[in-house]
Amino acid sequence: MRTLGSIREFQDRPVAPDLIAHILENARFAGSGGNRQGWHVIVVESPETRAEITRISTLGFREYMAQTMAGAVPFAPADDGRWHGAIVDLDAARAVDGPSGLAASIDHAPALLVVVVDLRALAITDIDADHVSIIGGASIYPFVHNILLAARSEGLAGVLTTFACRAETEICTLLRLPMSHAVAAVIPLGYPVHQPTKLKRKAVNEIATVDHFDGPSFG
Ligand X SMILES: Cc1cc2nc3c(=O)[nH]c(=O)nc-3n(C[C@H](O)[C@H](O)[C@H](O)COP(=O)(O)O)c2cc1C
CB 103 within 8 A of CB 58: yes
What's the CA gap between 92 and 107, in Å, rounded? 24
Q: How far is the CB of 11 from ligand X (least distance, A)?
A: 18
Q: Which of 159, 167, 174, 189 binds ligand X (CB under 6 A)?
A: 159
Q: Which of 69, 129, 134, 199 binds ligand X (CB under 6 A)?
A: 199
Determine which residue in the list 27, 30, 102, 111 makes contact with ligand X, applying CB under 6 A.
102
Identity of the residue, 4 or 22, whose beta carbon is nearer to ligand X in the bound complex: 4
Considering the rule CB under 6 A, would residue 6 count as an interface residue with ligand X? yes
Cα–Cα distance measured from residue 193 to residue 8, given in angstroms and rounded to the nearest whole number: 9
Binding mask 51-70 for ligand X (x = CB under 6 A): --------------------
**Residue 27, H or E segment:** helix 17-27
Q: Which is nearer to ligand X, 22 or 142 (CB)?
A: 142
Query: How many CB atoms neighbour CB 157 within 10 A?
Result: 26
Q: How far is the CB of 129 from ligand X (least distance, A)?
A: 19
Question: What is the four-CA torsion angle of 18, 24, 25, 28, rounded to 10 degrees?
Answer: -170
Q: How far is the CB of 131 from ligand X (least distance, A)?
A: 17
Shortest spacing between CB 59 and ligand X, in angstroms: 12
Phi, psi of 141 (to 5 degrees): -70, -25
The span from the CA of 134 to the CA of 107, in Å, is 30
Contact between 160 and ligand X (CB under 6 A)? yes
Which of the ranges 33-41, 128-136, 158-166, 202-210 carries the binding residues for ligand X, by CB under 6 A? 158-166
Of 1, 5, 3, residue with least CA distance to 160: 5
Give the residues lining the site for ligand X (CB under 6 A): 5-6, 102, 159-163, 199-200
